[in-house]
Amino acid sequence: MAAFAIAIGFYPAIYFLADRNFGLLSSKSNELLSNVFWNIGFYTHIIFGGIALLIGWVQFGSKFRNQNLKLHKVIGIVYMMSVLCSSIAGIGIGFFATGGIVASSGFISLGLIWFFTTLMAYLKIKRKQIKLHQKFMIYSYAACFAAVTLRIWLPLLIMAFGNFITAYTIVAWLCWIPNLIVAHLIIRRIEL
């Protein structure tokens, strides 16, 4: 999990090094690519989402957490601020998702869930409700990890359907729903 998180966490750097006709941007219209607000949303989403993905996984090791509570708190604040920026930007650019309303609603739903679970985790730790904080953080990082699962599923779906639009429409939901199911199973196992 950590290797995937690190690899995909650094992935947004490619958008600063490659031609604008790279990856997802190649499916966007010139009009959208020249829209200042969409660009701010896109780059905010990928930069802060990458940061959240890069640092979030280290928070789950109980040994690290117990021996470095101050660092855990600092990383948690950076993670939370990154998620809030990335999720809000993701919701905004979700309205312009390739694949129409089905893809848009999938990505907007993901952004809302990521924002909500992270906000709830913050509110729970402020009230010293550590177990609830941990549960919401598991859900939050499961939503964050959608960046990884999207990149795993998308090429497989393109091969299966032979069509980027169909694959992208499906992956808008498939990249995060199974993650939340796994998060739920992890939480249930912890509670046993």
**Where exactly are the structural domains of the chain?**
2-191
Q: How confident is the model at residue 103 (pLDDT cuts 50, 70, 90)?
A: very high
For the stretch 148-164, pLDDT in tens is 999 999 999 999 999 99
pLDDT reading at 75 higher than 80? yes
Dist. CA 143–CA 185, nearest whole Å = 14
pLDDT reading at 101 higher than 70? yes
> Cα 18 vs. chain centroid, distance in angstroms?
22
Do 176 and 149 form a contact (C-beta atoms < 8 A)? yes
What letter represents residue 80's amino acid?
Answer: M
DSSP H helical ranges for 68-129: 69-94, 100-126
**Over residues 128-153, mean pLDDT:** 95
DSSP 29: -
Question: In angstroms, what CA-CA distances link 153 with 20, 65, 143, 172?
Answer: 23, 32, 15, 10
